[in-house]
A and B are shown apart, each in its own frame.
Chain A
Amino acid sequence: MSTQRTARRITPGKVVALICLALAIAVSVLPFYWVLRTALSTNGSLAANSASLLPADFNLGAFQRVFGLQSPSEAIAEGGSGGSINFWGYLLNSVLYAGITTAGAVFFSSLAAYAFARLHWKGRDKVFALFLGTVLVPGIFTALPNFLFVKNLGLLNTMAGMVLPYVFMTPFAIFFMRQFFLNFSREVEEAAMLDGADHWRIYFRIVLPNAAAPLATLALLTFMGQWNDYFWPLLVGGDESSRVLTVGLGVFKSQSPQGAPDWSGLMAATLVSAIPVLIIFGLFGKKIVNSIGFNGTK
């Protein structure tokens, strides 16, 4: 192919292209370094060294502040608010929130997806269209009534109330798994069916083990999406006890102490919130990158 032949030749156009690409990568990645550099700095020194590439007055105080390891007076001395902030609690809530919704949504959605892809029943396509149609409904529109529903159930500021709308399914998960099942070879299933296995057993013994790869991809995508969710947890889980990291970050930011924000503390908190996703990306980057073409265009 022509691209391979031109790949060896270095043309001016190619140099410009590579520079543009390098620039885009720098803009995408360098801000993360800046967050780290600021988190390791001391607030008081930031203004005087606003352009230094290394941490200004290297110090781990910001991280101690974020995890509530500094006494209020220490925190205030370093430019913190001294207000109670406990990221361990938020971290745990985020893990629970993203973990429970992911487990439930992936499992239940794949069950439903199987019924849409493989079973034959009256009204199947209409029901599927109904599921797919929910993608068109903006989140804010259902969030208000869902808030009232959770409130009526007495589940405000509980993990149960937070996970309810997502734990049964997400339209995307159903769509994603249905697509996989449609392309999945029927032969093994049919052989098992002839041996007298019912759909339930076929699903758990044959289909599910063979769907490990797409299930893992789906779980990663769902987990990251839920981890980053802000609006719904803000509505139903705003209390200190049920806050997730994103909500905690917003609260941290709004506690602007002593006039100027606690920048190093805020960046340390930001980094702590980002680390789990960064780890997932480090481990499964290729899987995630390769999934993009799929969910977008197929």
Chain B
Amino acid sequence: MATPVLAGRSAGTRPGRPRRGGPARRRTSGDLKIALVFILPALIGLVFFYLVPTIRGIYLSFTDYSILGDPDWVGVKNYQAIAKDPLFWNALWVTVEYVVINIVLQTAIALGLALLMHHVARSTWVRGALLMPYLMANVIAALLWFWMLDYQIGIVNQIIEWLGLPRVAFFGDEGWAIPTQALINTWRNMGYTALLIFAGLQAIPGNLYEAARLDGSGPFQTFGRITLPLLRPVLALVLVLTVTGSFQVFDTVAVTTGGGPVNATRVLQYYIFQRAFNEQDFGYGSAIAVILFLILMVVAILQMKFLRGNESDLD
């Protein structure tokens, strides 16, 4: 790697020093010992809070475990029960619904905002204002909208009434509950996503647009033929972030609807939480967590494969 540079320097600039020995020799024999010291704390974190828990989580999913006593090995019993559990299928369904609304809304709005910023306002102030919601905790975003969307005295319903439309029970209506949760998340994340796309837009060389203009390409053609294809790696990343993040929705649901009304917002992570902590069924909760893990893996692999997010057309 940098060894040639180092060898060149030690030979040329420091005539008083012997060529071999010292740092140069340490390079060839490797820095394993000192490297271990450098990575030791991080390694402790990795092993005890990521690797061991991953194995333990998989193990627990094959057991019956209520915190008290020892886990009992039950084989695939939990998975068989999950397959027949209507609450699980409901959780999976409402989570997917939430994810889809988020992908469509968030990506579309963010792409629009990024293009607007790119063409009419590149100032840091604009970007800062759009980023503000993202800096807030999910809990804060949830409570803020819980108040603004209140059926009785929330400002949004007030505005809806002024427009001559009937009030909406955003959190209380089974049909609205998941879209409302997704809207809160979209509100919080759209600025951040827009900034990611904006950064991608700025990386596209200006001379490409110049060339397209000279060739008589209109704005829509330019967008479809140049902007969108060159944004692909960024869009792939945005999609992976949106999907993996949305699949793990918990905070906003936990502080607003608590899974309700009925089961309308009992999303996967909330269901896992309830099974593990309210019903002390750690084996069952772990098994659903394994399934969620697998879903996310498959989604990430598919997205990277189809969008080829790790390659850029710019090279």
The count of chain B contact residues (Cβ–Cβ below 8 Å) is: 111
Q: Which of A19-27, A63-71, A73-81, A211-219 forms contacts with chain B? A: A19-27
Residue of A nearest to B129 (CB): A25
**B145 contacts across to A, CB distance below 8 A:** 31
Binary per-residue interface labels of chain B (270-287) against chain A in the complex, 1 for a CB within 8 Å, 0 otherwise: 001100110000100110
Give the contacting residue for A231; candidates B42, B49, B210, B250; CB below 8 A: B250
Measured CA separation A109–B46 after assembly (Å): 11
- Chain B residues packing against A (C-beta within 8 Å): 1-2, 5-6, 9-10, 14, 17, 22-23, 27, 30-32, 34-35, 37-39, 41-46, 48-54, 56-57, 60, 67, 109, 112-113, 116-117, 119-121, 124, 126-133, 135-140, 143-148, 150, 152-155, 158, 187, 190-192, 195-196, 198-200, 202-203, 206, 209-210, 213, 233-234, 237, 244, 247-248, 250-251, 254-255, 269, 272-273, 276-277, 282, 285-286, 289-290, 292-293, 296-297, 300
Are A136 and B132 touching (Cβ within 8 A)? Answer: no
Residues of B near A278 (CB, < 8 A) are 135
Is B137 a contact of A227 with CB atoms below 8 Å? yes
Q: Does A205 contact B (CB under 8 A)?
A: no
**Which residues on A sit within 8 Å (CB–CB) of B120?**
7, 14, 17-18, 21
A8 to B56, CA, bound (A): 62
B196 is contacted by which of A29, A194, A292 (Cβ under 8 Å)? A292
A273 — nearest CB in chain B belongs to which residue? B140
- Indicate whether A131 reaches chain B with its CB closer than 8 angstroms: yes
Pick from B39, B49, B129, B147: contact of A28, CB below 8 A.
B129
Interface class of chain A by DSSP: helix
A binding-site residues for B, Cβ under 8 Å: 1-3, 7, 14, 17-18, 20-21, 24-25, 27-29, 31-32, 34-35, 38, 46-47, 50-51, 104, 108-109, 111-112, 114-116, 119-122, 124, 127, 130-131, 134, 136-142, 144-146, 148-149, 151, 164-169, 174, 186, 190, 193-194, 196, 198-200, 203, 224, 227-231, 234-235, 245-246, 249-250, 253, 263, 266-267, 270, 273-274, 277-278, 281, 285-286, 288-290, 292-294, 296-297
